[in-house]
Structure 1
């Protein structure tokens, strides 16, 4: 059950604050059908991070993303040069920002809730995301997987974030659009808030989220109600 007595709020980045599906515009200029390429790219990228956690093969997320894009393009026989691939990859620095992001984080700050980003992204990616989303003045900090060389949903990253924030895990709520991130946060002792923008069904596997919301505004409403 969700407990609104929080010391801070943490947010995932990709799919939560910024829309990874917006890469399809860059892909559309170079492949006939961008949607399946985009989906395979995203899923492979996440799979690579989870394998890396168990095989001591960490590399910064930008490199994981490059490898995953290379694979997705090869699967779909896309005739794309290395230079064009890197141009597509660079769109991760300027992904579309969801409309409610700045407004909601500003409301949380005004209500006294420190806000942090906790992400698989490497520092350079997160710097550009924060700048592009125009939320640098609203955040109390950004925590990257690069700091511990472990990706979500490994508990080490969430515990590291709690230590940096200075709050016990149980006093943090982690907001994410990714089910595996929600369950990872819960496993590490945080409260897991599922941001379900598309009204999807929850996974039949594992724990239920502590709270489900359709928007970040909806999450703020729950806290301030």
Structure 2
């Protein structure tokens, strides 16, 4: 049990939304290149957020997502004519089936719910609206407010400032082990959702709980 929680704050991409769904929709057209393209796209997308943060050369997540797609298409030899279709699909990624029920259950328990994401405001507005999550969220927070990507402490401080909570009053939920560690090191209470049996990172920050579906979360927080 994670006690004395006022707000549950979720990572978006990988946690609430399936980052591989944009490519999956075009899998038939992409053929055998679909899986390596999707995995490399996501890998480079994350790498570019970290590298740009270290370089002090910020660009929003939409540009980074496009740059990462260009890299992945160049490496895999995927048809460049597919680029615009794939990139636009990232505005409407599929939500995981456990996302909306978990958010609704948390709201019924009186918890504040929010997203804290690398995504740009436009991307997050589109994704949450398309997935029907808007009515179950009290806030959608983008790193664009602080101008640096996760896992910088400024990002996690943003959630505290905007929601009016102390770090220990927030349960942060992420599928990304490095994000979970970053939030825990900052002082948030972290429930890492382990959708794909990934090992946790060897980084500072104590993870409060590991769950395997978001449906476990409402009974975990008090």
Question: Given the two structures, how large is their TM-score scaled by the length of structure 1?
Answer: 0.93
Q: Deviations over 1:39-98 (max 9, x none)?
A: 1110110010011111111111010000000001101122313xx312101111221111
CA RMSD after TM alignment: 1.5
The equivalences for 1:25-104 within 5 A come to 25-28=24-27, 29-30=29-30, 32-81=32-81, 84-104=82-102
Q: Is the 8 A contact 2:160 2:167 kept in 1?
A: yes
How far apart, in 2, do the equivalents of 1:61 and 1:105 lie? Answer: 24
Q: Deviations over 1:195-220 (max 9, x none)?
A: 11223332345445211001111111
Q: Is the 8 A contact 2:23 2:86 kept in 1?
A: no
How far is the alpha carbon of 1:101 from its aligned partner? 1.0
**Larger displacement relative to structure 2 (129-138 or 67-76):** 129-138
Alignment partner of 1:135 is 2:144 = no
How far is the alpha carbon of 1:8 from its aligned partner? 0.6
**Larger displacement relative to structure 2 (2-11 or 118-127):** 2-11
Partner in structure 1 of residue 21 of structure 2: 22
Describe the SS at the equivalent of 1:33. Answer: helix
Alignment partner of 1:200 is 2:166 = no
Q: Is the 8 A contact 2:181 2:204 kept in 1?
A: yes
Q: Is the 8 A contact 2:189 2:208 kept in 1?
A: yes
Partner in structure 2 of residue 12 of structure 1: 11
Q: Is the 8 A contact 2:173 2:193 kept in 1?
A: yes
How far apart, in 2, do the equivalents of 1:27 and 1:72 lie? Answer: 15
How far apart, in 1, do the equivalents of 2:63 and 2:159 lie? Answer: 22
Q: Is the 8 A contact 1:31 1:78 kept in 2?
A: no
Describe the SS at the equivalent of 1:30. Answer: helix
Describe the SS at the equivalent of 2:58. Answer: coil
**Structure 2: gaps of 5 or more residues:** none
The equivalences for 1:122-161 within 5 A come to 122-161=120-159
How far is the alpha carbon of 1:27 from its aligned partner? 4.4
Question: Given the two structures, how large is their TM-score scaled by the length of structure 2?
Answer: 0.94
Flag the 1:31–1:149 CA change in 2: closer, same or farther, 3 A. Answer: farther
Partner in structure 2 of residue 165 of structure 1: 163
Describe the SS at the equivalent of 2:3. Answer: coil
How far is the alpha carbon of 1:25 from its aligned partner? 2.1
Aligned residue-pair number: 221
Describe the SS at the equivalent of 1:10. Answer: strand
